[in-house]
Structure formats: C-alpha cells, structure tokens
Structure 1
Amino acid sequence: MNWLKKLTGQITGKKEKINNAGVGSATPSDVSAPNDAHPPADAGPELTLREGTPEFNLIVASTELETGANLAHGASHLAVLLEVDPGRADWQALAARYLDAAGDDVDALLPVGDERFVNSEALRAWFWQRQGKTPEALDLLLQISRAAGHATYLHAWALDWLEQDGALARIGETSMMQLLATALNSVEEAHQSSAGTVRDMGRWASLAERASAGYAPSPTLLLVRAGLQRKAGNVDAALAITGPIGQAASAEQANAIGLLLRCMRRFDESEQAFIHAGSFDPADITPKLEAGDTCFEAGNWHKALFWYEAVLASESEQAWALPSSWYCRYKLDGDEAWMERLWEAMRKGDNRAHLLVFRERGRLAQSHDAGANLLRTLLERWRENGNTDDSGGAMAISATVMEAPSNRLAFALELAGRNPPVKLEITFGPLPAVDPRLALAPVDYPLWAYEGTVPHPALPAPDAAVRDAIAALALAPYNPNENWAAASHVAARFGTRHVRDILAAMVYPPPLPQDVRALEWLPRVQLAAAYVLGQIDSGWEGSERRRALVSVLFGPMDWTTCAAIRVLARIATTEPACATDIMRLFARMERHIPEVGHWDWVTLLYEQWLELPFLFDAEREELRRKLAAREEDE
C-alpha cells in the first residue's frame, strides 16, 4: 500500500502496546508462536486454535490448573492472558484460583530467574496485593510502567487497590506522587480521550486530593493535581488549584495554568502563561514548546514558527519542534518542499511528521463505484456550467451490475438541494451469483431492504438528537483516534437503548453541510455511527456492539460495510481478546465476494485484515498477495 493510501486509513497515534515490553525480554519462549508458524493445511481460521491467542492461553492455563501438574507453566500463560485484558473479572478469578492452588506461594507460580517479563511481573504484583502487600505491589507496577512504556496495569488494577479503605495510609508520599504522575502522563487531554479514560482520570484526581491533603505544598504537587483534574475534564477544579497567572510563583504553576487555558481554547492567555513559565529558567525549552503548540492549535502559524525556532536555536534537531516548524512554513508559503520533508521524515518513522502529514493530507477514502464516479462527473459538469443542468427534472441511470445502495443515497443528498428537484431512476443489469441484496446470515438489525432492485431503509428514521450527535461527529476533522474518543462520549450519552437510532443514521444521513459533497459526507456519517456502535457497551460475545456491527457487516452489501470493517479491525487491534472472532468474521466475508462489479469493501477488508493480531506468517503473505492483485486490477 502506498503512503497516500495509508493516510486514508488509521492514523498512527499514541497507542498502548499489547506486545510484552520487557523488564528483561518480550514474552516467555514457551508461550509465543514461532515466527514461521503455519496453520494446519486443512484448517481454516474457524478451526485453528492459534498459539498465542487468548483462547489458547486460557485453555493452557485452565488445563494446568485442573491437573495441577505444572502450575508455573500455567501461570506463565495466565500472565499473557491478563496482559491482553487486565480488568477482565473471570480471568482475575482464575488468577485467584491459582494462588489458592499454590498455597499462596507466589515464587512457586512465578519462579524468579535471570530474565523478568512484564506480564509475569504484573501477575506477581497482582498476587502480592491479594496477599495484602499493596505498597510492594504498587511499587512493582510502577517499575513495569516504566519498562513497558504504558500504564495499562495501573489503570486496570492500581485504581481499585488505592480506593480500598485504608490503602492510601499505607502508601508513602514519594510512591504516591510517582503513581499520580505516571497516570497523568499516560493519557491525552480530556477532549482527546475516551469517556472511560476521562472517568478513570476523575478517580485519579479524587485520589490525589485525598492523598495530598497531608502533603506539604510544592510546585510539582500543584502541577500533578491540576493536571489530573484537567484530564478528567474538571476545569473549575483545576482552576481552583492553579490560581490566576498573576500569582504563579513557579514554572510548574505557570505551565499548569498555560495547559489549562489551552484546553479552554483561551490561546492568547495560554501563550502568556508559558512566556511567564519560561521566565523562571530561560534555558528550559518546555515552555517554548508549549507556547508553540498553543499557537499551532490556534492556527497562528507565524507565532508557532517563532516558538519552534526558539527551541531549535537551543536544540537544532529537537524531535517535536523540527517537523512542526516545517509544517508551519508549509502553511505560511505553500511550498511543497516542506511537505516533502515531512513525508521523508514520516517514512523514516517520525511519529510527529506522520501526525502532521495526516493532518494535512489524511482523508477517509471515498467510494469508487461506477455510480460514485458518475456523480463526480456530474458535479464537475454542474460546477463548470454555473450549477445548472439539462436534466429536465429527471435523471435515468443504467448500470451494468448491482451497486451499493449508498450510491443512490449520495445522489439523493446532492439532488435534494437542487431547484427544481430532480427525480432519479437507476436500473441494473443481471444480478451476480452472490446477491449483494441479501444478508450473509440472519442479522438483528438489517439496514437495507429491497423491492426488486430498489433499496430502501429497513429501519425507521432515527431520533433527531441521535442524528444531530452523529452529524457533529462527522463534521469534526478526520482523525481516527480523536474521532473514536469523541464517539465514545456519544455512546455513553445514548447507550444501548438507542442502537437502532444510531444504525438508522447510516441510512438516513443528516443533510449536506455547506460546501461538503455527498461522496465525502456520507462515508463520514456512516463511520461516525459505526464508531459509536463500537463503544456502545463493553465485552464482546453477546454484546450489543457485536450484534450491531455484525448486522452491518453481514447485511446487504453497501458503503456501510466499509464502516463496519474499519471498526471491527480497530476493536481487534486494541482489544485482542476479540481478535479471533473478528478474524472469523472477515474470513466469512471473503467467501462472499461478488464475482462481478466493484465493491469498495473488498480491498478494505484485506487492508484491515492485515492489521489483525495472531495471523500466521503464511496468512499475511497470502493477504498481501490478494491485496496486491486487487490494487493491480483497480
């Protein structure tokens, strides 16, 4: 896939790694699948128990516990299992049974050797806490967070431990401050974080207030307390902690105020706060970087460039300021040479450059169905003719093969605003053997129904409040990570009782915003709705989100199929416990590719399938071959 195509997919952002970052190494050698592993020749994805998957590790851990023959071996698989989802209650219950079976002998379950692994040390901390060794367990989790580069275990376990009666009194101030700072630095700002993350940060903020009541005031304490409240979305509470900029007596206090004002979009005041922060130590580049980011976020490219160049005057290759300065220059003079520098840095693995290139060039892919291409041609013709046409109030289109019903929906969106209104009639040639009008399997929420070859929504129109919320999500700039986070708040607001309304928004889209074309708007609306559905509840088997997404995936083929594929792939990569099931769903979709016609979802299926964990090497190669063949045909 070329770099431009990558920009139409998932942006690379800050992700918590699932793979085991080592305190000493990656994963126990007897748990990981070998690099050249292959599935049995006669076994499809539905039949293969894949080494390294949660299902595999659960079976091994459960079997070893039942037999009691090798509890240490089973505990190593249990550690890998809990790394996938530390908060899973039934897996924690299995851990409790292991500790009981070993007679509370943690070292028998997790022998201490020359090498230490993140997942096994995390399980050791869990065992210790269960034995009442909460301070030791928390200190170990802090070590793990530093080694792994993420705070997954802290959020999943430490919050619960610290909220227990009497726990805070047992934790020293130094350890507590390290815990709070680690939690603070592990997540994005509230407006970029999921609803669940914001709730967790609210819990951390409450712990900080309880724990620090007896601490001596300090600039670091103020920064941490205010930061936790800020990332919990508690602006008033954060302001009460920081005080006004005129009273800032340290760089930490001024920085805390600047960060808070930036989140409130009070950009000029935020910049002034960072200028004040820099006055305490002119050699410190942090306030300059923050001032640059503040002006960047405000779209003030001149000022942002000034601050980034001030950083570069001290550190000529500073990893954040250098690509940011190139982007500012590109925005100021439009010279593509600056964008080429960003592209080159992105190819070499520079994440900041990747973010900036995506910001400028990243787009959600539009359909390339024949009907979509025809609509592009008509829109261009109307534009050249001063927005007039010779349709006479009616338009007839004849297509050789069946197409996605969203093609008709896109035409309807564009024609709805024309004066006089235009009536559209579309006819198709013979249907393929794989009838795209039919669901692959019984589904709970079909989106489309057909009268002959004419589609119409199978659901009633959505609640207006739901439709408006989906429209607001679709209007936001395309950034998959931030869009996903924003969708989680909509999911929390409406809940599972509005699943039908959220689905209906895919086929009853809001009207076109000004200066936005249907070929761009409709996929954005459908993806926004799918993002909400992907977070409408938790768990997987039997969940409402699975029912809804499978309904879109297996229902009549459409542009909405693409939205379901994107969200399912995202869930599989961020929640590996779901990955095997989603792999099966993708394999079933592949068996129902129509033999004729262009369907956008087919290429996307292979692209997203390649992102899934637990694939065998041979499977990845086969998927790459199929993807290359599709791209060559297109």
Structure 2
Amino acid sequence: MAPHEGRRGDFGRAAEGVGDSTQEAHGELAMARLALADGEVSHAAVHVANALFCEPRLPEAHELLCALAARRDDGGLGLYGPDEQGGMFAGSAAALAHLQAAAGDFDRALGTLAQVAAHEPHRPWGASAVWLGPGIVGRLDPDGLARTLLGMVQLLGDPVDDAQSAALAPFADVARLMVEAHPGHGFLLWAGSSFMRRLDALDEAVDWAFRAWTRDRSLEAAIMLGNAWRRVGRTADTEKLWAAVLRDHPEDLDLHVDLGELIAAQGRFDEALGWIQRALAVDPHHPKAAPAAHGVRWARDRDIAHLVALVDHLREHPDHGYAHELIARACSGAWLRHVPYPTEALTNTLRQLLDQVEPGDADISISLSALEPPSALLAVRGVFPRFGLSVQSVPEPDLRVPLRQGRCAVWSYAPGDVEARAVPGPPDPAVAEAVRAIAEPSWPHPALAYDRAVLLAGCALEDLLGVLVHPPAPDDSELGTTFARHEPALWVRLVQIWACLGIAHHRPDEPWAGSVRRSVLVDLAFGPEDWVSDAALFALVATAWLEPAVREDVAELVGHRFLDAKLAYRTREVTLLRSLAELVLATPDMPAQVRASAVEQLAELERG
C-alpha cells in the first residue's frame, strides 16, 4: 500500500501549494466539522486526511480524527483504505496509522506511518505521532520493526538531506530504543544499520552492523557492515570482508557486482571486471551485472561505446533500472550532460555589459577583429537591440560559406556583408512556446534528451527552423529570469539545441538515408559556421545513441565536420572547435583515428 502525494478523495481539494499550510489545514477541518454535523462521516474523513497532509502535527486534526473514530464501531479503521491501484493518499495513510495505534496495533501503525514518511521524508510524520514515545518499545515486535526499516530504506536516499534526517529522527529514536531492548537481535541490528546509514548516523550504523555480523555471521549482516564501513572510508576492510563472504556464498551475484564496483572505484578495473564476469557467467541476464561491466569499462577506457552499450542493454531490458542509474551517473560534461558554454568575443562582451548595464536600448558599439558566428550577435541583439558592430576582417576559410551546398539554411549573407540575414520567418507562437517549455539546460544523457524532444514531433518543420533564428525569450520563472538577466547567450544555445532535437523527430517513419530530418540536420550542420551547426550535429548524435542503424552515418558526418573545423583552425579562430571535438567523443562508432584527433585537439586547446 504505497502512499500517493497530492491525491485526495472525491470531496477533497488540492491543499499543497495554495497558501499557508496551517491555514489550509484549518480550512479543511472546518469543512470536516460541517460534514460531521450532517452525519457524513466518510466525507469528514476525507477533509481530516487533507488537513493531516497540510500539517501532520496539528492537534485539532488529531482531535477530530478521534471524534470520527468514536462515531464508528470499527474505531474508524474502515474510513481509510487503498484505492483500486492499491495505493493510498498520504494524508489518509497517516490517519489510518494513528487509528491503528489507537486500536493498539502498534506494529501495523508504525509500518503504515513509516511508509508515508519514506515516500515523503520532508514532512514531520514521525513528530505527529505522540504514540511513538519510549512506551512503545514493549509493544513492538523486533522482527516487524526490522521489516519496517527495510521497507523505508528502499525509498530513501543514501544519505538523505539534513531536513529529511530531522523529519525521520523519531523513527531513528524508536530504532535506538528497540536495539537497546533487544541487543542480540541480528535482523534488527543489520536492518537498523541500513536505516541509520541513510540518516548519516554512521557510528551507530557501523556498530549495529558489526554486532549483527559477530553474532550470526549472516550474509545480510556482512553486506550492511561492508556498506557502513565503505561510508566511513574503510574500503580495504570492506573488500576483505566481502571477498571472504563470497567464498561461503558464491551464489550471491549482487555481492559479486558490489565487490567489483568497490574494487573499480580504487582504479583496479580489470580485477573488478573479473568479479562482475563471475556473476555474468552464472546469469548472463542479471539486472546489475551486465550494466556494471559496461560502467567499469567506461571508467577504465572513457570510450563512449560503453555508455552506448548501456543504452542498447536498456533497449533489450527496459526493466533493468540499474542501467539507467549508471548512464546518468557516468554522463558529465558538454553534450553528454549539458549544453556547451558559448565562448565568442561577442558573448564575453555581453556578459561584461550585463554586469554594468541594464538590458534595453542602450547605444553600445564594438569592433571585432574577425567575424564570428551570427547566433552570437543574435544573442547580443536580443538584449541590446541597438547594439552596433563593425568587423575588421573575414579570415579564410570564410565562415559565411557553407561547407556543403544544401537546400535548407537559416542564415544567409548578402555579397560582402558581415551580418547574416535570418532566412525563415518567426515561428508559430505555439511552437515557440513548446520549445521554450522543454528547453532544459541539462539532460541525464543524450538518449533521454532525444526522447524528451518527441514532444516537438508534431511541430511544423518551418516553425522549428524559425525558432533557431527567432528564439523565444525565457519564461518568468526563477531559472528563466536568471537566463534573461545573466546568461542570454546560453539561453539561445539551449533553444537551438532543443529545436534541432525536435527536427530529429520530423517524419520519423521515413527511412533514414533519404529522410527529411536527416537532410535538414545535415544542411544545418554544414551550412554557415554557427551555433546551429553543432546543435544540428548533436541532434544527429542523440539519434544515433538510440538507433544503431544510423550510427555509422552519423559518425562519418560528425567526424568530417570536426576535421573541417580543425583544418580551418590553422588559419583562423574557430569558436566551435572545442564543442565539435567534444561531440566527436560523444558519438557512437566514431573511428579511433578521429577520436584520437579530438582528444589531441582538446588537449591543445586546454594548453591555450
């Protein structure tokens, strides 16, 4: 029976986020009293549950809950139960827990309230239960408490944050009292250790697990002791313990994986793979072993092929959540996790101006020694519309000239002109809003960025192209305001990247080789040098993460575009060069020679 946040009964109204929580709780109680006066006990129960959700500790809510219980022969227990899906609104589950305690069923009451607290650890559910005092110890079954604590740790972070730790403190106090009352109960000790570790009570976590291990030498106690030791930095002790335990319990494949990952964290990758491969030899479809092997190989080689192998694994085993976790944990840096930062002289100037001048119609002019990508000027003019620019030179190879002739372009230059003209007109406002709504600054990994952009699949191609050169302003959220005031150029980058990801979903049923989506993205990538170029390439790369059939083609395109930029860099500045090199390293099936060239180029850029 899993509690659900924010779900209320038929008569309830959404209380969270409307205003002051205590005031909202009192409003719910007022409705409950009216319903109770009319004899509508079930109706009143819904409002009491809503009040407990708003403010779990409110004394008046508990008093009215007692009044409801007095109206029922079953003590109110029948007022709250699971829905058709087997879940329950958190406020209702908390009310049920208090009624169970009033009926003397403390094991069930604690189990119910603990599940609520684990699902919503930021709320003071434990502090709302006066029955969780020292007197409860003699009324609880230690096995039952151990099972309750294990149910909680499955839902909690490791560790939880300080606010959650404070809210969960009453449950920790009960665990301490029970361990004191049952000092030799191995199950309670190692389950309690797991719970205390999540609250960062590490002395108790280590002590309880060690006592459980020395008492009965159980596999579970060894695992919990190793996890507690690992948190306090005793990795060598953990490794020695787990290796010894596996000699007696070779059937525990999860522990093979845990030990392998522990060893990998020390840089002993081949040895780590040996432990994980022993698990795979027993069960080739183990939900953790195969993903862990890919994760260790990635840590060893830093070859994107291992992360893409995790994506391929997920396509075959979508229920293997550990693969999701490993990809998200491994992906960091430009393109794998977030948009690259713009580095043009224009964008550097823009940041300096915003430190000194409010956005608006200020008369500002600068001179550039060399022409830069048109989107950089687009970003500046979005903040300072009357910004004046003069360009002293256009070095060869001319960035205005497309590298390949195509049919689709978003920028064009009149002969001899240094300011680009936007080719498409402004997009439909609904499409601009759709792109703005999904323009997140980061993503767990490229495949999920591609998946998220499916929300743009129904947008007209001409509108997505229009977004690239007529980007919508950020919204008025806190993040949007930050972009508008401090990082408008980065915002333009974001919009262009997500619009290109949307283009990657245009007519998805067309065969790749002759598809409009491929043709348009290639034209953008090899058109006039601009932020749109690498945004289009990223859309191709994100597609390749999910579609093996396109990988060879995408690798060739990305590789050629990078090598073209590297060649141009011999005679002029290429502001996209770092970004393109990072794209090479994020591209599946990239030839080793091109990868090596990208690594070399990044090292050179790092040296300055």
TM-score of the two chains, using structure 1 as the length reference: 0.47
Q: Identify the structure with bigger relative contact order (alpha carbons < 8 Å, sequence gap 6+).
A: 1
Greater Rg, structure 1 or structure 2?
A: 2
